[in-house]
Structure 1
Amino acid sequence: MADDKEELVVAELHKKIKEAFEVFDHELNNTVDVREIGTIVRSLGCCPSEGELHDLLAEVEEEEPTGYIRYEKFLPVMTKVLMEKRYRPIPEDVLLRAFEVLDQAKHGFLTKEELIRYMTEEGEPFSQEEMEEMLSAAIDPETNAINYKEYITTMVIDDS
């Protein structure tokens, strides 16, 4: 009986992976640009670091990198990632504590300038593209700040 249940889970994952992949398969030839893989992986509820994403790409890329990833190489690797629940999002309370540490004045928000400084000077720096993507999603244009309590709720994926 357990095998039937697992087969169902795998079939459901395959469907999700195929749908996510097809969004970026512009030529409809079962390949996507290697630069889209991060977006596809994240759209499936995974949050790998840049290093983890790099390792994942190494698994799915051809021996001779072409700049494209083939669906049949991506599917088994991504299925395994999802089955093992790898690259899970960080829980909401942990994210909140992290923002609170950065918000030393305890305002409940960070200014755009503070956020940029933390994103470029601390830990694993964000690329320009990642930074712009986050700022466009996180910064309130009226206050030019991030109300992180509200932002965190958009970052957390509901598993149910």
Structure 2
Amino acid sequence: LTEVFTFFQDKDKNVVSVKDIPTIIRTLGLVPSEAEMRKTVAAMLGDESADTVHLAAFLTIAKKLILDRRFPGSNKEEVGRALAVLAKEGRNYLEETHPKPESKGGVYGDGKKTVFRPAGSLSREDLLRLLTCEGEALTQDEAEELILSLPMKDSDLVDLDQYAAQLVPPAPFL
């Protein structure tokens, strides 16, 4: 715990900025909500209204959080199930798209094309849309950068099992 704290500390003064506490807590493998994080920071500050947290206060609270197994986060299976919902519930599925006509002549049938996506995958395009339009949306550049680091089954499909493994934080230590 001390080693993680000292990585962020301010010039050997045994204090870190309050702004760094969420990063430190998450580095330890804990995954509190924003409200829980505010309470944790407040507990570390005590009655002070300071901009820094002292090592002793951090150690007291962080040890208790870890020993009490607070804020454990999700396991790989839970994250995998959540990603599977985004990938049409993890089943093989058919998706209808509207391709551009290849000739000036009429479009064969109703102009729709059926696309097969394997189970356990999410298209790059769908993930990009979700990252930039849903929840705490990322910018287009942030989403593109994230997608470059993802495990891909081929050029267009994210491997959800491997992605879930990347998203799960390490187990807390102590």
- Fold similarity call, TM over 0.5: yes
Moved more, 58-67 or 33-42: 58-67
SS at structure 2 position matched to 1:29: coil
TM-score by structure 2 length?
Answer: 0.65
Residue number in structure 1 paired with 2:63? 79
Count of residue correspondences: 134
Distance 2:22 2:45 in 1: 13
Deviations 1:17-62 (A, max 9, x none): 1011000013110100111111111111111111111110110114
Look up the SS of the partner of 2:16 in the other structure: strand
Distance 1:44 1:159, change over 3 A: closer
User: What residue in structure 1 maps to residue 97 of structure 2?
Assistant: none
Question: Once superposed, what is the RMSD of the aligned Cα atoms?
Answer: 2.9
1:46 aligns with 2:30: yes
For structure 2, the 5+ residue unaligned runs are: 91-116
Q: Please give the TM-score of this superposition, normalised by the length of structure 1.
A: 0.70
1:61 aligns with 2:61: no
Please tell me the residue identity of whatever aligns with 1:114.
L
CA distance in 2, matches of 1:141, 1:154: 10
Counterpart in the other structure of 2:108: none
How has the CA–CA distance of structure 1 residues 144 and 34 changed in structure 2, closer, same or farther, with 3 Å as cutoff?
farther
Structure 1 segments unaligned to the other structure (5+ residues): 1-16, 121-125
Partner of 1:117: 133
8 Å CA contact 2:79, 2:167 repeated in 1: no
How many Å separate the matches in 2 of 1:136 and 1:37?
28
What does residue 20 of structure 2 align with?
A: 36
Letter in structure 2 aligned against 1:88: P
Say whether the 8 Å CA contact 2:80–2:160 is kept in structure 1. yes
Query: Higher relative contact order by CA 8 Å / sep ≥ 6: 1 or 2?
Result: 2
Q: If each structure's helix is expressed as a fraction of its own residues, which one has the higher value?
A: 1
